[in-house]
Structure 1
Amino acid sequence: MKKTITMAHGNGGVLTSEIINDVILKTINGNTLENMTDATIVDDKYGFTTDSFVIYPHFFNGGDIGKLSVCGTVNDLVMGGCIPKYLSLSIILEEGYEIEKLQRIVESVKTTCNYSNVKVVTGDTKVVDKGHGSGIYINTSGIGEKIENLNLGRDNIRAGDAVIITGDIGDHGVSILCEREKLLDGQLSSDCMPLVKLIPLIKKYAKYIKIMRDPTRGGVATTLNEFVENSEISITIQEEKLPINEKVAGACEIFGLDPLYSANEGKGIIVIDGTVASEFIEEVKNINEFKNAAIIGEINKEEHGKVLYKSRFGGRRILGKLTHDMLPRIC
């Protein structure tokens, strides 16, 4: 294990796991924490989660740090099987930050909360001296109500289950890169969006859904690895079934990136019983925001604990967790 923190420790991949497992979990013991879910269930009734946001630029095509701070926490609750209800909002400001920018960010928080039907009920502000805060950082925590008859967890996954993504892969990370570097003239947009419109379908199919996650840092490939690592099952995804925006794919080709490791901030990965996958995906696609949803693969036992990628030409390779810092500070 490295002796000092690097940017790669924040990418959601291998080094992030090392910090969590070898430092945090090793020191702070607790069954709930060790479940390693983005939102935890308390007393089998309530969901609770927290997240911090350090993205730059603070304003980007498709959103800003305020919208992102609500979406990130709301989506962790939804993918944790909960109906979001309440948020906290803590803001760390750097001396010299413009009040007008802060006002715009807070307006975005309000708009996104209204869309998600959640309320900000507590918060905090701090100011740090110039040169020590990158303008603004935000932390949000969220509380939600657990959806009945929904039991999520890796142990529920079985061979024959289907893997679903609710839309195009990698939009957020690639668009933020282009925004920073002033590339492609704003042609790409972040998918930053609350996932609350999925809640009625999650309720309807609750007994068939095995696990859910929003593929943020580390992207789809890293998230899928978290589902099967150290288990006797594997996941096979197929290239021709992956919904990837042509402009995102083109940008990835130019910059030598893989969209499967690029973050989303408005998509969900859902593993569901294969017997209902077709009808479930059709209902998901009937929601305009998720019209590009797709079944991208299945659970099997081909390679224990691995995620397998099958190309349209018949080749096969193993997808591991993200090991380097492809795009720092994207959320």
Structure 2
Amino acid sequence: MSPVDSHSMGGKLDPEALAAVLDRTGGLDEDVLVGPAYGEDAAVIDLGDERLVVSSDPISLAAERIGTLGVHVACNDVAVGGADPEYLTAVLLVPSEAGDGVAPTGGEGSDDSIETIMADVEREASALDVSIVGGHTEYVDQLDRPLLSMTAMGRTDRAIPTGGAEPGDRLVLTKGAGIEATAILATDFREDLEGVSAGTLDRAAEFFEDLSVVPDARVLREYATAMHDPTEGGVFDGLIELAAASEVELVVESATIPIREETARLCTAMDVDPLHAFGSGAALATVREEDVADALAALADVGIEAAEIGTVRAADEPALVLDGERHTDPAREALYALWDDT
């Protein structure tokens, strides 16, 4: 269980607050191989010959394409857990048009939101060959924006935890930092990006098509000792979480982290650090040193950009050492300040 990926202005729980939640999850059945833990993307349940990988995530803030984001954020967690996502449930809560003290009744605007969101969900799930098998939808008078929470499930014969990195492993990142953030900036904040060309904004908005790491993870799981899906807080927080889950130190130089041109332009224009901004679309993996070249070549063979960005070493206290500076605490998601100002 990673800190709450709410995409809301409150943001993730800090590790201490999350620990209080994790302490109240009850006793775990012996078939639970990976349970709730800081940094872990998904639960893993022993089914005998197979492992069931399960993850839930909500989306509430991004105004554009939350159905798209919801499917990929949930499915990505299952993919980096070593499984192909197979099933989804969707819980969709939408604002009612009723006023205070009036029972939620919905309305044309609410119904339009439901149709738009679920059309996105259906399209993205179909593209991944994932079945939507249940969920819940209702109007909520207290909401001022839709909230979509999805649970993804998939089976595998080899689950891969976030906490599997070993000293001596190498860090691999696919695609680049801030893929999801770039798409959000190009849509939710398009009117604020006056200095950025329309062509750049249009290309950046197309990053919504790059949010899935199912293909990335499908290649990497043949080599990875650990995998992780950086979401809220970006690659920076993803590295912090991977270090904590694996109880290791990660040594990274920021110059080695791929950042696409469109990401750099939009983040510069909005004064956003791309390493601290929503990171869906990239997969983090640790790979044994002798397997790095093969892993990168296998990704390249299927057209996925990737780079080696750092090393894993033993440590008394888990940490990210970025450009020589040691970090143990996650950072606040960079885009929250932009929503705070709107």
Query: Is 1:115 paired with 2:127?
Result: yes
- Give unpaired runs (5+ residues) of structure 2: 1-6, 29-33, 98-108
Identity between Structure 1 and Structure 2 (%): 21
Partner Cα separation in structure 2 for residue 300 and residue 306 of structure 1:
10
- Whether the 8 Å CA contact 1:10–1:16 is kept in 2: the answer is no
Query: Is 1:136 paired with 2:142?
Result: no
Deviation at 1:125? 1.1
Q: Which residue of 2 aligns with 1:17?
A: 15
Q: Which residue of 1 aligns with 2:75?
A: 74
- Whether the 8 Å CA contact 2:162–2:246 is kept in 1: the answer is no
TM-score (norm 2): 0.79
Deviation at 1:317? 2.1
Secondary structure, counterpart of 1:27 in structure 2: coil
Q: Which residue of 1 aligns with 2:116?
A: 104
Secondary structure, counterpart of 1:226 in structure 2: helix
Q: How does 1:1-331 map to 2 (within 5 A)?
A: 10-12=10-12, 15-22=13-20, 24-30=21-27, 32-36=34-38, 37-44=40-47, 45-57=51-63, 59=64, 64-96=65-97, 97-129=109-141, 132-146=142-156, 148-154=157-163, 156-181=164-189, 182=191, 183=193, 184=196, 185=198, 186-187=201-202, 188-189=204-205, 190-191=207-208, 193-198=211-216, 200-202=218-220, 205=222, 208-229=223-244, 233-288=248-303, 290=304, 292-301=305-314, 304-310=317-323, 316-328=324-336
Change (3 A) 1:153 1:196: closer
With 269-278 and 172-181 compared, the bigger mean Cα shift is at 172-181
Tell me which amino acid in the other structure corresponds to 1:268.
Answer: A
Secondary structure, counterpart of 2:308 in structure 1: strand
Secondary structure, counterpart of 1:229 in structure 2: helix
1:164-209 deviation per Cα after TM superposition (whole angstroms, max 9, x unaligned) = 1111211222442453332235353344522222354245x2xx42
- Give unpaired runs (5+ residues) of structure 1: 1-6, 311-315
Higher relative contact order (CA 8 A, sep 6+): 1
Deviation at 1:212? 0.7
Tell me how large the CA RMSD over aligned residues is.
Answer: 2.7
- Whether the 8 Å CA contact 2:80–2:217 is kept in 1: the answer is no
1:303-329 deviation per Cα after TM superposition (whole angstroms, max 9, x unaligned) = 85221223xxxxx32344334353239
TM-score (norm 1): 0.81
Deviation at 1:230? 8.5
Deviation at 1:286? 2.4
Partner Cα separation in structure 2 for residue 231 and residue 74 of structure 1:
22
Q: Which residue of 2 aligns with 1:3?
A: none
